[in-house]
Structure 1
Amino acid sequence: MNVLEINEIGKFIRKVRKERGLRLEDLSDNHISTATISNIERGVPHVNKDKVLYLMGKLDLDLSEIPQMMDKESENLESMQLKFTAIETMIKVGKVARALTLLSGIPESMFSRHQATVHLLKGKCYIQKGDWKKAERELSEAIRLAQQDPSSQKTNLEASIYDQLAYCRSAQSNWEQALKFVERGLEVLREDADRFNQIKYNLKMKQVVYLEKLGRVDEALKSLDDLWGSIPHIQDKDVVLNLYALRADLFRRMRLHRDSVRYAREGIRLAVNSRYFNEMFKLWTTLGSVYTELSNFDDAETCFEFVLELEDQISDRHELLRAYCSLGRLYLLQGKTDQSREILEQAIKWGKSLKDHWQLNVALLLMGRLLKKTGNLSEAIKYLLQAVLVAEERQFYQNVWLGYYELADCYEQLGKVEEFREATELMYQAQRHLNCEESLFSSW
């Protein structure tokens, strides 16, 4: 009886015990303890073979029946994997309620073998609904169960769960914790398990995203360079397109606009005739932003007009919100104040509903600038105070500084000396949190 057999036998014993409604205490006696039974069920390799046979005898299980039971279990496993694939597809296309119903209807006899996967899928359901607390609760339970189940290591399930936890935190603009979850996912990833390359490249790609969000641009670019050579081996086209979008955006932040345009256009060419709308959307949004920064407003508007054509195809509402903020800024620079206000009002509404604190903060700052530009100083102050509040709560110190700068300008124009002095003092306090003066203006 080797380690693999003990592991499989332990699963069958647990399954039979659960089906019969027996507790560990119901099977323990002077010859076998509850701890030993638990070790057998978990496939602990050092368990005495005689103890295993003794426990099987108590359950009227015959060792010779195990191969047949394993074949049957293999068929059941394939059926469950098919069911899980169908449920995951439903989640992706937005049929979350139906997916949750199917997950709740899984028989207890099958649920006990796939608890970690069920909780992972429930977590994905709540992610789709934007209920981050429930999502993280389900995913945390999935982690706990995956760590107890040796079979989950064969599928790199734990790494996949950390990937989803990272997304939850990033959606709440907690990029520091998102990065930690990604790094933990890479730590637990097993090269000898299923989907190794697929999960690795996805986690590495997100590592670049979160480093960039944290302003660690040099580290992000280095990680991206390390990953870039693997592109020919990456089978997931959405990951490849995301890498092009990231490279374009990083070069944009570094003011290397020519390189940014080149990679954005290369990515767009790769995306032609594909249905990777989210990735295509990112590429066009980045290209539009680059043209905006180059004051090439006509080309920028062409990009954003195409972006809006894709709006109904986009499942990632955070990317849509980012595009609206970029378009609102373009209209502001063009002097199209009515269009800018309409777009930014929608962006603020989405930012609040999605709890996307970064884009909400950007939209509020832009709205404040717009109102200041049109002479509505009192109304501008209301939006700028909201922007500062969000930025301070999330420690977006660049935008705290920018918010107080805009407020100081408003107060000076209104002749409010005390408020002006207070705003400039708070600007100084925000500046102390920043590493260098150049970072003050990067978000603009």
Structure 2
Amino acid sequence: MTAYLDREKLGEWIRRERKKKDLRQGDLADSFLSQSAISHIESGKVHVSKEKIEYLLEKLGLDKSELDHFLIPDERLEEESLYEELKLKLVAAETIVDLVDPEEGLNCLRSITLPQNHLFQANMEYVKGKAFRIKKKWDKAYDHFFQSIHLVHATPGLKESNIESACFHELSFIEYSQNHFHRAVEFAEEALSTFQMNGERQYYYDLIRISQVIYLEKVNRIGEAQKILDEMARGKNHFPSLFLSTGKEASLNAYEMQTRFLQRGKQYPQAIDLALQGLELARIDKMYDRSFELLTTLGSIYIEMNKLHLAECCFKTALSLKHKIKRGYLLAYVYNELGKLYDKQEERDRAEKEFQQALKYSRKNNDLYREVDALLGLGEVFFHQGKYDQAVGVLNDALTLAKLHSLNEKVNRILLLMGQCLVKMGDPKFQDIAMDFFYVNMKSIEGGETMRGPFKRHAAGDPPTG
């Protein structure tokens, strides 16, 4: 039976024990354990390493064995967490295989350790097959695709994944590439016959059908090919994308926007599911910018869920596409999110480096919204490091930009953080900041300010054009 730490209950107990000893958080802070880390431990809402928790117990004169009282056995929780992590790693590997480099994707797959007889084994063999198919190593690709098909048959419940159908489609492509047109037709028929109409990877249906047309034309079965085209034209495939559009760019733009709206409403499972759907479509159509953007948004969702290792996986996968993207402002987006990730992990130097990168790319691309984000992030990093003068400096720059373009939500955050810095410094200008904060919010309540200004707010990519 596995167990996990109930961090919220543990934090409540530590807070009570600290107060019994009449100690403040600051009394226990030192170079290894910051005051913010102690606050995170007591709230239980942000992951702090077990080593730091044990160190805090030691400083409070408490036995480390007390942690055992807060361990809750839960095999299901561990299984769900492992499933989510493995699924994301396989999505990342397939993205790299398709959009970056098949060998690099294979290296990612080699780093994934699957439990024996895990249902993702078939998926892993399928992705390996794709990598070798792209490398034109036909025999190895064949082996992996047939091994995947075998695993689908041996694993209950995998039919709906449509991995079997996908493998047959990939095999038909291999035969076609070697001018074995009749074999290509046979594998395409297998792909269609094994396709589950209500299963996953629905995009394969159209790929299979149009491939059939190409193969049939090569073997001079023109009538059958024409019949398939006629059926497709009449819309008999019944597989429209969630956001049907004549333009792929517009469709993926809709996925990104809807994902963000779900994220703002804290509907995280729905947001993740939609982001993964959009990412799948972007990968298929080699839409590098949209893949980059959706991966970054997915990572930002995982940060909010405190699943920081999954967030880092998303950002690293996005950055593997860095040299393929055209929209430079997207780099400011991912570096800002990386800065937030490292700041949350209390890796301040790394966080500062990422925010500086975000600042560089936001200014290069005249993205004022991301520039304010980067400056605010730097201010928070400096604040956590006790560098209050530096924090106030960058926050002043952020405040100027945010006020100029009526970014009231940003203005509030900046003023609050500046106020905290000035209080720490004992600076009397704190009163001016407090009054500024009051007037900004009073105007907002009265409806006296609106969002206006000539800035480019790249919240979800440029709107699609014809």
TM-score by length of 1: 0.45
Structure number with higher relative contact order (C-alpha < 8 Å, ≥ 6 residues apart): 2
Larger helix proportion of the pair: 1
